[in-house]
Each structure stands twice: as structure tokens, then as C-alpha cells.
Chain A
Amino acid sequence: MLEMIIIAAIKVVVVIVAVLTGCAYSTLLERRVVAFMQNRVGPNTAGPWGLLTPLADGLKLIFKEDIVPAGVERMTYALAPVIAFIPSMLAFAVVPFTSDFSLFGREISGTLSDLNIGVIYIFAVTSLAVYGICLAGWSSGSKYSLLGGIRSSAQMISYELSYGLTIVGVILIANTLSMRELVAQQDTVTHWFIWRQPLGFLLYLTCAIAETNRAPFDLPEAESELVGGYHTEYSSMRFSMFFIGEYAAMLAVSCVGTTIFLGGWQGPFLPPIVWFVLKVFGCMFFYIWLRATFPRFRYDQLMNFGWKFLFPLALLNTMVTAFFVLWKG
């Protein structure tokens, strides 16, 4: 019993450290890649190729003054970053990072916990992040924050539906909700669910980007209109909580997308964890690529796109899949 707890604790620590490091370095990746796509160089001064930039950024944010504006709702203001940050970290609890392996004679499972309703758990937990953003906007006592928060809640609720529906197709085919099972079913490249659910994958990507408030769906923090959106009034570590939360959410949806559509850690030749990291990296790169490519949606465009295009398509995808699943037995 004690041994199990120790193993679990070590795994949790490893995953949290890995995810936070991943977040830090995806900020660097983003800045560098976007810079190169714009014929710039990006941060390259701290360390070789700017590899120490995230460290320098973190130090800077920690030592900055934590300014609390006069008109804020103190309790909510302090809680909001935490609420935005925790759910995206929670999502990693059920992600199968690697196959089961044995270390020092003990069998260790590749996931933190093999929940039999893993997919639903992820969707339940990640949608909580909207509360953080919404409350941050409301408690800041600033019109920009409030607008950002309201936009974010409208956007996330609109896209939550399609987001959930995109996965239903895969679940119908796989007939399981466990992330482990999903990976186990995609044992060869031809069995990846992306080939059986290509539309579902595209819809998932789109909704995931909207869910994590990333460009071109980054209306809640639209810099050009809302200063900083919901985190306008935040500074220092509170701000960086939002920031890490956003990148952790990106990583989380990349991990989930990888697990559900791209075969998780399955892959030839290379060890499972390398495949997993590579695929997640690919998703993250796509995110960044998308940000460098497309301008931000207008608010009405966003709503039209969500309700009149994505949602019917997701419904259609689900119905067609359900039909075929029933038909083929």
C-alpha cells in the first residue's frame, strides 16, 4: 500500500514537473517559431539559441511587484488565477503518457490513473477553466477585463458543445471511455482514429483551439481591443498563473488529441514516450503555426462559425458515425 502511494507520488511529481517545463518551453517554441515565420529571430540572447529564456522570464515574473488594483473583489481576484490554472493541470491525470513499464522490478502503469471514464473526466475538468477566466474578468473591476471575461464565457460555452460532440464519434467506434483502451485499440498506424474520423479530428482541433482561447479564437484576451482581456489587471505571479494555465491547457488538449486520434504512444521503432512527445510536439507546432497564419475572428464571426458551422458539422459527424456503427453491427 505504502509502496503504491510512493510510486503514485513520484509519478505525479514527474508529470507536473514535465508539464510545467513543457509549458515554459512551449512559450519559447512559440516565440521562436512565430518570429521565424515573420522573418524575425525571436529571443536568442539568454543561453544558446535562447534556451534559458523561459527561466529568465519566470524569474522576472516572480520578482515583479504584485499590484492589486483598488477596485477589485479581493477574494475572487486572488482565486481566479488558481481556478484557471488547476483544471488544465488536472487533465493530465488520465493521459496515458507511455506504455506500462517495469522499473526496479515493479510494474508501473503509463498513466497516473486509469479512469474508466477518462474522456468524460477530461471534458468535465477542462471546461472548469472558464470559471477562472470569467471570474478574473468580473472581479478585476475593469471594463476590459469584464468584456474579456464575458466573451470568454460565451465563446467557451458555444464551443464546449461541439468540442464534446467531436469525440463522440470516436467513442462510438471504440466503444470505450478509457484513455488506455483508446490507445490500445490504435495499435498500428492504420488503426489510428484519425483515419476513421478525419472530420472529427479537424473539428476537434478547431474546437480545442477555441476552448483554450488561442489565436485565431483569442477574443477573451484580444490585445488590440481589450488591452489584455481578462488578465489586464493582473501582474507578477498571478498573471503567470493564467499564462501557464493557458499553455498547460494547450498541452492538455494536444495530449488528448494525440491519445484519441493519433494513436497516443503507439508507434514503431522509437520508445513509446518519444512517440508521445513527438506527436504532442506536432500538435503544439500546429497551434503555433495557426497563430502565425490567421488573424483573429470578429465576435459575430466567432459565434456564427461556432453555432452555424461547427456545431451542425459535429452533429452530422456524430449521426453518420452512429449510423455506420449500428449498420455494421
Chain B
Amino acid sequence: MSEIMLEFSDFGFQYNAQAEPTLEHINLTIRKGEKILIAGPSGCGKSTLAHCMNGLIPFSYRGTCTGSAKLCGREIRDLSLFEVAKTVGTVLQDSDGQFIGLTVAEDIAFALENDCVEGTEMHERVKEVAAQVGMDNHLFHAPNQLSGGQKQRIALAGIMVNDVQVFLFDEPLANLDPATGKAAIDLIDRLRDRTGAAVVIIEHRLEDVLYRNVDRIVLMNEGKILADLPPDELLSTNLLSQCGIREPLYLTAMRYAGVDITPEKHPSDIRSLRIDGTDCAKLRTWMHENPEKPAMDFSKVLMETHHVTFGYRPVHTVLKDINVAVKEGELLAIVGTNGAGKSTFSKVICGFETQQEGTITFDGVEDWQSLSIKERADHVGYVMQNPNQMISQNLIFDEVALGLRTRGVPEDAVRTRVENTLKVCGLWPFRSWPISALSFGQKKRVTIAAILVMRPKMIILDEPTAGQDYAHYTDIMEFLRELRENGITVVMITHDMHLMLEYADRSVVFSDGRVICDDTSAAVLTNRDVVRSANLKMTSLYELALLSGISDVKGFVQRFIDYERKECRS
């Protein structure tokens, strides 16, 4: 057995501001060279555990520790934050927020500067590490010239300069598109092979992390470790779904078809999955027994863009000849890489930006072009990604009422409309609460309610589920589906493939300012060319279908979606 890096025994932690301990009875050992995935729903304590590993607890966040937490055999509380950071390097979730320097080189050099490393040596070390993460050609780029994936690689380089022995990744995939996320997991794997360091990944997107082998999955719930098992064994249990963690889609499909999942079948990776003839037959029978539901018919066009072209500067067009029709009552996903133009598209619709060419028509509105931002907002609502970017009032009621009050609606009418909206949004029980007491997901609901109260026919949501675990994700998405039942058309800008598959009636794929595909999500995610150019990932259901000898792959995926909607969400 190799050297023990981190060792927690009967460890517990309680924040000073909290009434109950966030972590209890943690027993966990991490050795050199191991790769561990820590998974668990929001609020299970996995981020707190990460803070305990990198020294932010007890040195930055105050609270009470019980039991023992050792790094390389020494109690962490006897060290200092800086000593811990020399051994444990952390890549935070927010790859933009942790970018400290004005340029790539300065950011990588940050730890060296603080260690008083001299000029020449520092320049060489930065060059060397930048080359290891493939960023040596970007040394003097500013953060706003980099993509999310590149920023994350810089963050990684920034801790690699220290020769750390434990790499800690806090939700590394949260802000990345699927293909970039895959590349990140790949890079982490190569890093472990080369340095022999221990790697700890905290993430609830299990399937994406398991793209490269991990040694153990530590499953947390309510502040305790529920399981600490090799992936094959853990995935053969029902523990994940009990904790509200999404298991890989191909396993869900296998369970639907009644296939037993055992460690011998290597369920941790679709490429190593061993299924026998009986299993394949079960899958095929299941497909046969669950015919595809006829697609819902959305015929009435609500909003349509005709040859819309837009650029912030004349030479640099962000949108090129966009023709998209949004049908009344549908849930539409707009997908594509960062910078592909999907956010700009929504800004043009809302009137935040004005297109240079082309027109937009909206059903029942004459001359959409001439409407101001405020006038368009009566028809199309726009919800930003981070609810903190929209909330300005103390009380939920006032926040939701804001849009009506600025429009001069009489106060008694405001009251009834706000109350109705709060009921629709499931916020009625909280109506007199201060907003600061709400969870992130509830705040998101408040911002949606604040838009819905103006009775738009269509709402556009920017990354509605970013950073949410499966339970909150389901919560928000089911809510959006209910809205659709109430006749509201929902357009979502996202790169969450699960969202596309499970909820969107249709996906419009942007790439480099153009629409390259406009089809059902099942068709999009089984189309290799589209997947590649839009930085998406083939769904693992595709591979499962091939593995079990099903030729109508798209049909299989569609049936899976239909089955899920019917069985699990009604």
C-alpha cells in the first residue's frame, strides 16, 4: 500500500453559525496515487469536507472540529493554511472567479510570487507548467480572451507550480460544456499518471467523471459517508438514486428493461460494460414493448426570426443568418458552445441588442422591431442565470411585484396578481419571508415568478439548472414543465445534455454563429457531426443501443425519454 496522504478518523465539523454539525463521523483514508470521487446531493457536506482537506477549515471558516484529520501524518489543525496548501492544491468550481492575475502567466506565477521565487526561475517554471496543460501559447492572454475550459487549465497550472501531492477539484465540470468536461477529466487522469499525486474530485455529474477510471466513489448524504466503494460495486446498488444522485443513463435504461446490474458487468463505464445475450434480449424486448409516443404537435408559430444577423463590431458577426421558429407551448432548448451565439440570440429577441439585418416577428404583435426593451418584456420574459443578479428587494412579495409597480398597475391588482403567481410557483408558503433566507433554487423560483407576474407568453431562461444537483434540477425543470401546461412557451439556453434529453421538445444547435441543427434532442444527441461541432457528447444510451444490437438508435433514445416521462414523472 502506498503512503497515506489524508486520513480522517471519526471527524466532525460544525460551523459557528450553524445549530447542527455539517459533518459527522467521517472516516476516510486517501493514499498517494489514488483517484477518489466524492458524490452527494447539495448540502450533504461534500464542499465542507473539501474545505477540511485544503485547510480553509479550520483556518478561514470558523467552527468546531471533533475527531482527527491528518495530512501526511500530521494533524491539520497544528499546521497552517499555507503549509496545507503546499501539499493540497485546490481547483475551485468557479474557474473565472479564481483567476487572479491580469494575464495567464501572472496567474500561474501567483503562488511562486508569494513564495518569493526569483525572476528567471519563475519565468522558466511558468513556461514549463503552462506547457504541461497545453497553454504555453497563451501566456499573455487576459482572462476575457479565454474559454471556461482554458481558465480551468490555468487554475490547474496555478497549483501545479507547487508540486502538490493532492489535487482537489471542487465540481470541475459545473461550468463546462460536455466535450470540454470530457477533456478536463482526461487531463486530470493524465496528471495523476504523471505526478503520482492523489486526486480527489467532488462532483455530482457521475457519468461524466467515470469517463476515466476512478478507484473509489465516496457517497455522502446528510453530513455522513454512506458508502466508500469501488465504482463497479457502488453502481450495482440502489444507493445513488436513494440519495438523489443521477446514475449513468445507460444503467437507468438497463434497470427499466429489468437487467440485473452486478459488479461483474463492470457498470462503471459504458466501454467496459459486459452484457450477455439475455440482457440484450431484455433490452430489445423492452424497446419493442414501449412504442414511441407520437411527438406532440406544436403547429402555431409564436416567434420567428428571419435571416437575423448581428455583430458587436462590423467585422465580427456573432449571429449569421438565423432562422428559428419558436412554437407556442413548446419547451425549446438552445444549445452550443460558449461564444456560439446562443446568449446573443436571446438578447436580440429581448431587444437588449439590435440586429443589423433580418426581422423578428411575434404572434399578435405588430412591428416587433419598434418595441422598446420594456415593451417587449410584456411578451417575452428573460431570466438570468444567477438569481443574485436579479434580486433587489428584501421581501419576496416586493421582488415579484416590482415589474408590475414600475408599470403603474394599481396596488390591489398588484396584490392579486402577485399572490396568484406565488401560488403557481410554489412560493405561497414563503410569501412573507425575506429573500435572504431562501435556498438557491428557491431564489431562482422567485426570479422566475417576478417575470411570470407580467404574464409574458414566452420566457427565456439562461442556464436554468447550472450548478444544481439532481434533486434541485428536477424541481426546477418540473416547475418549468408545469408552466408549459399553463400555456407558457419556455426557451432554455443550456449545455446540460440531460436537460435537453429529458425535457426539451426540440433542440436548436448553434455553432459559430449559425444554426447547424434543429431537431428532437434524441436526434441531435445521436448525430455524430452535430455533437462534434457543438461540443456536445454522444449520449451513452447510443452506445448501449449499439451494444445490445439495436439498430434504431434514435428510436431507442426516444423511447427511453418517453418512458421516463411517463413512468417517473407523472
Do A and B interact with each other, yes or no?
no
